[in-house]
Amino acid sequence: MKSKRPRKPVRSKRPASKRRPAPTRSPRDPLLAPMAGASHRVVGGVTIDIMEAANGRVKRVCYPAGFRWSTHMQPIVKTPLCMHAHVGFLARGHVRGTYADGCEFDVSAPRAIVLDPGHDAWVVGREPAVLIEFDALGQTAARFGLPPRHQHA
């Protein structure tokens, strides 16, 4: 029987002083640790853990540094803009975005967020953005009283 060799730690060739800190990848980081009972998936580089919650869901969504919806998700989703409503708590990171009419948003953790459907958004800086989000699948906007897409009354 083959014995498993212990994995060698991955070593960076860059001197320690030049290495980027990677605190968000630490397995000890409770914000990103594996989530018991959640279904886990990765879509367009975005890591999503989903817990069913009665007729809604609680999600932890991690957008990596460099992520932009129109670049990384649009080819998968195929709608011109993200048509999800986002209601939740930005626990880490910095996100900017625009709506079709030119309205902009710029949010940094810690911060509660409410985004209408019909936006593009991207992660600013080198830190991933981590969003704790509540949704109701296709009913999210209606459930939270948001318009079906961004508009002004």
**Residues in contact with Zn ion by the rule CB under 5 A:** 99, 101, 103
Nearer to Zn ion, 10 or 153 (CB): 153
113: phi then psi, degrees, rounded to nearest 5:
-130, 150
Within 10 A of 63 (CB to CB), how many other CB atoms are there? 25
* Closest distance to Zn ion from the beta carbon of 102 (Å): 7
Give min distance, CB of 17 to Zn ion, in A.
45
Q: Between 62 and 95, whose beta carbon lies closer to Zn ion? A: 95
What whole-number distance in Å separates Cα of residue 56 and Cα of residue 21? 36
Choose between 74 and 98: whose C-beta lies nearer to Zn ion. Answer: 98
Residue that the structure tokens 């900017």 belong to: 96
Query: Where does residue 72 rank: exposed (0-12), middle (13-18), buried (19+ CB within 10 A)?
Result: middle
Query: Minimum distance between the CB of residue 139 and Zn ion, rounded to whole angstroms?
Result: 22
Question: Which residue, 103 or 136, is less far from Zn ion as judged by CB?
Answer: 103
Shortest Cβ contact with Zn ion: which residue?
A: 103
